[in-house]
Chain A
């Protein structure tokens, strides 16, 4: 079945690295996404990775994909207070229009 799980909450100190984790169950997932949602706003795409990749880096963001364990992570380097938000991972199968979302991880960055 389709299921995406994330931890609910993460608190880090400003300047530290944040690692947000996600697990998914469907091995046929071909695209995996990270979205950011700030309070009262819509979802903003941060980055995505194709399932044939292990890693993708984009400025302060690093995405790691372990297909064997169906584990996806988002690392934010030098975390800033502006990074405080809810982060959603989502998966999509190539044959489907649907995105399956996790319930989101609330990141709190302490000064």
Chain B
């Protein structure tokens, strides 16, 4: 099992550009999550998907959209990137509704100039 995979690993954008971060898990988990990690801070939840077909806002959803494409895949889209979105983005998945243990991908390091 690859676990949770994320693409790309690194990305540099100019202000106003758009991009989609991809995440996939092969553990048959119901729930998936997108977090951002900023220096000196813990992870903050952007959006989550409790099960296929549902998505909900987390702590810091502004400027982002998500799509739960199927049970395996959960993508995060930045429609018009801003320098404040420079961060490391982590995707995670967990086994059941309500979460149990969350397993994390390796992260995408995004820089917005």
A: residues with CB less than 8 A from B are 4, 8, 33, 35, 41-45, 48, 88, 90, 92, 94-104
Instruction: Tell me the nearest residue of chain B to A92, going by C-beta.
Output: B99
Q: When the two chains form their complex, are residues A95 and B101 in contact, meaning their CB atoms are under 8 A apart?
A: no
B: residues with CB less than 8 A from A are 4, 31, 33, 40-45, 48, 50, 56, 58-59, 90, 92, 97-99, 101-107
Please name all residues of chain B whose beta carbon is closer than 8 Å to the beta carbon of A95 when the two chains form the complex.
98
Number of cross-chain contacts by CB at 8 Å: 55
The distance in angstroms between the C-alpha atoms of A90 and B92, with both chains bound, is 14
Q: Contacts A97-B48, A97-B50 known; A45 to B42 CB distance under 8 Å?
A: no
Please name all residues of chain A whose beta carbon is closer than 8 Å to the beta carbon of B90 when the two chains form the complex.
42-43
Q: When the two chains form their complex, are residues A99 and B105 in contact, meaning their CB atoms are under 8 A apart?
A: no
Q: Which 3 A-B pairs have the closest CB atoms?
A: A101-B42, A42-B104, A43-B104
Which listed residue, A42, A90, A97, A101, touches B98 by the CB 8 Å rule?
A97
The distance in angstroms between the C-alpha atoms of A45 and B42, with both chains bound, is 15
The distance in angstroms between the C-alpha atoms of A43 and B107, with both chains bound, is 9
Which listed residue, B31, B48, B58, B103, touches A45 by the CB 8 Å rule?
B103
Q: When the two chains form their complex, are residues B98 and A41 in contact, meaning their CB atoms are under 8 A apart?
A: no
Q: Contacts A42-B90, A42-B107, A43-B90 known; A99 to B102 CB distance under 8 Å?
A: yes
Instruction: Tell me the nearest residue of chain A to B44, going by C-beta.
Output: A101
Interface centre among B33, B43, B48, B50 (most CB of A within 10 A): B43
Please name all residues of chain A whose beta carbon is closer than 8 Å to the beta carbon of B102 when the two chains form the complex.
45, 99
Please name all residues of chain A whose beta carbon is closer than 8 Å to the beta carbon of B105 when the two chains form the complex.
42
Interface centre among A88, A97, A104 (most CB of B within 10 A): A97
Q: When the two chains form their complex, are residues B99 and A103 in contact, meaning their CB atoms are under 8 A apart?
A: no
Known: A42-B90, A95-B98. 8 other contacts (CB 8 A): A42-B105, A42-B106, A94-B98, A96-B99, A97-B31, A97-B33, A98-B99, A104-B42
The distance in angstroms between the C-alpha atoms of A79 and B50, with both chains bound, is 37
Q: When the two chains form their complex, are residues B45 and A98 in contact, meaning their CB atoms are under 8 A apart?
A: yes
Q: When the two chains form their complex, are residues B42 and A41 in contact, meaning their CB atoms are under 8 A apart?
A: no
Q: When the two chains form their complex, are residues B40 and A44 in contact, meaning their CB atoms are under 8 A apart?
A: no
